[in-house]
Structure 1
């Protein structure tokens, strides 16, 4: 039971906090907490009020709802960074969380105790984010991610770290003014648009750029991480014979390769870890094998023979891709570059913009690959596996990607390519090396003029 102490004009109540203090020799004594008022700066007016407050605290202790006063007063600034340090996520996810905490959450909430944040305060903050979104200061995606991260912080404060009894984030479905979700406007990925992008990529980046655009569209690799993480030994025509893992190489040998179905292996992606370019597992641990149509296999044959880099897609100078790839490669490829004069050896040709991709991300080329698979009627299992996703539930448990499914994908992609070139497309880049004997792919052997 709680007991009351009078100290001058103040009233203090003490209660058992449900914990024990261990003394040398193993002796245990109860650990008590005390309060001089229900809130800081608000003293108890009567002993009865103080006694009832102590009874409520002991009720919480008996029912496992007690929050230590010191824990509840942990400042958000300290809690956010302790929470971040405790996470075990991929480097890119850790970086995103750190950036959002530093940019928005800690500056706004940092001096507030975790246990004192109310639903009123949260709603006010949420409203301020939506206003910033409407004013164009924040994107809808970024504002939603901030709210999601704060919700995660509060949920862990309740469930995992016991810093408060309930979360101030209460999400009601179909409550309040309806706001239609803003979605990125996408157009069907047309081969003519890809050809324009690939031609621009050749002007900016050489033959590697030409192959990179087509490879992204016909494999669905996640750009840029999985593209830049694709190594020579995991690329057709060398894979699977060049796979460093003996067991994986043996399992793949009877199903993939130039004599079966040409394929690439998604084994890594590139990310920056503590500022250092590193190879990490692909997103969702989605290691997978992607069969490729014959024309793309031939493009890879030529590309790998044209350079000696360990990476399938090296940078312009032959090394790793630069960190500012989006600005120095993608924007000129997408938006074009005016002709520049000067000395003859510095003249750069004009690159015409691709209007259909104005302001768009390179990642949408991967989305287009998914559209093609849907259009061609492939099974959900084949599509989701190829995109690096898992099919949930019983369907995913019983389904399996079969060689016939892969062969059907390979054939439909090759047919899409052949149909496009049969329309009389007149330009493809000159080949940087002598053609392999028997090569018949339009994308390889056509040249300017």
Structure 2
């Protein structure tokens, strides 16, 4: 058995020496592949360095100079090709790589990215992006570099905790106001002015179910009350037991609970609007209060579109820039549209101060706050929001019929209180 030192060679060049060590690999011509490092002033130090490399090779933790010299852009290609995430997550990662990481590190090798290069890039993205976007880009770079260990680099330069540099206060939490039913009603009336009865029901559905916008954009007739669960396509043969339970719980008898089934969302992919599973695969059933069930029944009877909430032109709301074209006028208000050349005249839409400049998504937040205020089970609330409940509670708990009826009752009570307040205001 050969001694380790037999795989190390020392060469003097000028006033310094170079150490060469066998990598354990062979060249195509059958000769041993060596790597080297120069600049040592004495043979003992050079020999120790060579022994360290042989130790790493024997224990499978060595990174060859050749692999470390892999260009960052080549590693990014490999990393992207190996992704296995949901559509939106993958799209976000690709955007961070192609728009920020690849251009910045285009001429660098993976081994060139040390802690100083990492900090320089962090300073760069913080200077050109907002706090949230910069944080997302740094998160993606962290994953890219972490996955390069130990294949291309020995350790990742990613700093998990900030120890040096200027103090930066954490991003302020978004300021939110309580979601009052009267404010939701104003938003719903504005939406009705903007795109008709579907707009009115859309706003109340989001406030009363907490559905994500893309889930609402992609909601089709077969998954909506009063059609569901009788019209469920039942695409998964492994779910036959659930389909039968859904029919019994939500579809049979006078005491059935009206509900919406969240099975998918719509997103653009490859230039086309396509169906995808809901975020985090959060398939779920959402019971709705009586007043909303009546609205949905009336809405579906009023049009023949496959989409429960058709856009002005009749297609899916997912095919338009809803936030800009619909939500901003609804929340911020717009002037009257009239005149002989106006194709779709429209009265003025008053601003809703609580939501001026705010996100549509806050209606989802407000729904959870309503459920929390009414004291519903944490498991029932988180399940309704499409969140995983960790730990023992998530394993042993389930959403029962009494829990769902309690949610229906409390949401209906908010609606009835609003109607009473509106009557008193008008009298």
Q: TM over 0.5, yes or no?
A: yes
1:187 is matched with 177
Q: Which residue of 2 aligns with 1:430?
A: none
Distance in 2 between residues matched to 1:175 and 1:198, nearest whole Å: 50
SS in 1 for 2:407: helix
Cα separation, partners in 2 of 1:203 and 1:71, compared to 1, 3 Å: same
1:105-254 superposed matches below 5 A: 105-130=101-126, 132=127, 137-158=128-149, 162-172=151-161, 177=167, 179-223=169-213, 225-245=214-234, 247=240, 248-254=242-248
What is the aligned partner in structure 1 of residue 403 from structure 2? 405
SS at the partner of 1:122?
Answer: helix
Provide the C-alpha distance between the structure 2 equivalents of 1:88 and 1:410, rounded to a whole number of angstroms: 38
The counterpart of 1:365, out of the listed 355, 363, 366, is 363
* 1:33-58 deviations in Å (ceiling 9; x for gaps): 32253xxxxx5555555433322211
Kindly tell me the number of residue pairs found equivalent between the two proteins. Answer: 410
Provide, for residues 408-434 of structure 1, a one-character-per-residue CA deviation record: whole Å limited to 9, x for no partner: 00110000111101112599xxxxxxx
SS in 1 for 2:50: helix
Instruction: Give the distance between the partners of 1:129 and 1:244, measured in 2 at CA.
Output: 46
User: Which residue number corresponds to residue 87 of structure 2?
Assistant: 91
5+ residue gaps, structure 2, are: none
1:313 to 304, 309, 316: 309
Kindly provide the CA deviation profile for residues 302-354 of structure 1, in whole angstroms up to 9, marking residues without a partner as x.
11111111111111121222332222111111111112332076433111111
Structure 1 CA distance for aligned equivalents of residues 71 and 271 of structure 2: 29
User: Relative to structure 1, is the Cα distance of residues 18 and 372 closer, same or farther in structure 2, using a 3 angstrom cutoff?
Assistant: farther
How well do the aligned residues superpose, as a CA RMSD in angstroms? 2.5
Q: Deviations over 1:97-152 (max 9, x none)?
A: 1111122212222222112211122223323444x2xxxx5222111111211111
TM-score (norm 2): 0.89
Q: Which has the higher helix share?
A: 2
Q: Could you tell me which residue of structure 2 aligns to residue 15 of structure 1? A: 21
Q: In structure 1, how many angstroms separate the alpha carbons of the residues matched to 2:411 and 2:41?
A: 79
1:423 aligns to what SS in structure 2?
Answer: helix
